[in-house]
Amino acid sequence: MDYVPYPEEVMKLPPIRSTTLCSNVGIDEYFLEYAHVKNVIAAEYEKPRVQWYKEVYPSVKVFQGDLFDKDIQKQIIEEHIKQSCKLIIATPPCQTISLAGKRDFNDPRTKLFLPILNIIEGVDSINDYVLIENVPPYMTASPKGLQHILEGKTIAEYIKYRLEKLGYEVNIDKINGANYGTPQARERMILLASKKGMWKFPIPFKKQVTLMDAIGNLPSLDNFSANHFLPYNYLKQSTSDENIYFYRYWSIPKLTRQEVEMLRHTPTGKSAWDNAEKYQPKNKDGSKSGSDRKGRYKRESWDKPASTITSDCGSISGMSSVHPGRPLVDKDGNVTYSDARVYNLKEKLILLGFPNGEIWCRNKPEYKVPTWASDNFINTVLAESFLPRLAAVLAETIPNRTAHPDEKLENYPQMVKLENDSIVHYPVVGHELRNYDINPNSYLRNWPFPKDK
């Protein structure tokens, strides 16, 4: 990891087009335009995800179907060539390989790297770059049932082997999204492949974004108090779009009084299992809960990024899914903690990397979650997402690009200037956090950009 482009260099990157495979709902594409990448093709198997994707990106050509289907592969290949795309981004499902999942190597999804490679081979005449994202065990997994294909290699090694046969230089590493401007610790295997020189990994940012940095300015919310909002499911009949939006993003799951008291007595950074027995997790009948892992019923710490968002993030028994809370001292000096709850949707989106008032993305439209999506579906989608800030930062270092003839720089994010403010801000992901000092001869540079106020 030895490179980080300066903001003015990012602003001049030749724009290219891309295709995403196993696209989920397109969360990773949200900031790609800041790296001058326009995604024009997507492919996703599940219909609800395709519906969500189309609502967010109506102009993208979306293929809904099984990537093992040769006809689907053919259609994607033809469209990729027709659109003169230069980049493929593939994010195959990780549940069958992740240590947090069932690790069922017999699940057909484990083999999705094969049709992805077929598509990459099919667009070989025009494609220059490949980015593949998955969980770190992708680098070590070598399922017995696939040895007739892998021949002793791990999945990542086999992909590297196949891509190198096509003329790509391949760079693989394990990186943490928290090191690239996202207020969430999420480790991922990233494979970068290029036919036009080594695609280098970007330098980690000089500091991580903590929970206090990310959501410390948001209001406290509590069950059984004046500022508790009813669960969104009870408010779907609202006639006001504004009310639907408000409750969808800010509501919190309703807890029992016993659960609230338990969390009110759980300090920031601690698990409820560290409490006095009276305030430890219990079943409805009052017996001790069987879920005694210290990572569950645990409040997060303000001075760190959030833990990895998982599909059980809607439950207080999820892995590190409880709001950090703030100490409350009553007139007798007794200390309890606010926000006895999990993160609401507004907070989860921020922790995934979506904007929370940063000036560099001030002109970016807000990411809207469909009103029809259930809470469980949303949590699953968020847990399976490729972090959008990480995707954009990786795309910045694509080497030796050739601009797409129909893509013009003026159609990509421009400098941001606030009213009554003489400072102009670069539309570059987290540029105020970048570690520019690592660049060769950086001490000779006349820094052309002011720092955000």
Q: pLDDT tens for residues 220-275? A: 888 765 444 444 444 445 556 666 677 888 888 888 889 999 999 999 999 999 99
Between CA 449 and CA 452 the distance in angstroms is 9
Domain assignment present for residue 282? The answer is: no
Number of structural domains in the chain = 1
Domain assignment present for residue 110? The answer is: yes
Domain assignment present for residue 362? The answer is: no
pTM exceeding the 0.75 threshold for the entire prediction: yes
DSSP string, 306-331: BPPP-TTTTSTTSBT-B----EEE-T
Tell me what pLDDT residue 447 has.
Answer: 40
Domain assignment present for residue 137? The answer is: yes
CATH number at residue 16: 3.40.50.150
Phi-psi region of 187 (alpha: psi -120 to 50; beta: other; left: phi over 0): beta
The torsion defined by the Cα of 98, 47, 241 and 339, in degrees rounded to 10, comes to -20
Tell me which DSSP letter residue 369 carries: -
Tell me what pLDDT residue 145 has.
Answer: 83
Domain assignment present for residue 129? The answer is: yes
| Residue pLDDT tens, the chain, 453 long | 467 888 989 999 999 999 999 999 999 999 999 999 999 999 999 999 999 999 999 999 999 999 999 999 999 999 999 999 999 999 998 666 655 555 555 676 788 999 999 999 999 999 999 999 999 888 888 888 888 999 999 999 999 999 999 999 999 999 999 999 999 999 999 999 999 999 999 999 999 999 999 999 998 888 765 444 444 444 445 556 666 677 888 888 888 889 999 999 999 999 999 999 999 998 887 788 876 666 789 999 999 999 999 999 999 988 878 999 999 999 999 999 999 999 999 999 999 999 988 889 988 888 889 989 999 999 999 999 999 999 999 999 999 999 999 999 999 999 988 777 777 889 999 988 998 877 655 433 444 444 443
Tell me what pLDDT residue 2 has.
Answer: 65
What average pLDDT is seen over the chain? 88
Is residue 282 within 8 A of residue 258, CB to CB? The reply is yes
Between CA 113 and CA 97 the distance in angstroms is 12
Domain assignment present for residue 40? The answer is: yes
Domain assignment present for residue 453? The answer is: no
Tell me what pLDDT residue 210 has.
Answer: 98
DSSP string, 248-285: HHH------HHHHHHHHTS-TT-BGGGS-GGGS-B-TT
Record the tokens describing residue 101, joined without a space.
């999942």
CA torsion sign for 364, 365, 366, 369 is negative
Domain that holds residue 187: 7-209+386-409
**DSSP E strands: which ranges in 129-215?**
129-134, 169-176, 187-194
Is residue 314 within 8 A of residue 278, CB to CB? The reply is no
Contacts of 407 (CB under 8 A, 6+ apart): 15, 16, 17, 36, 38
Between CA 335 and CA 275 the distance in angstroms is 13
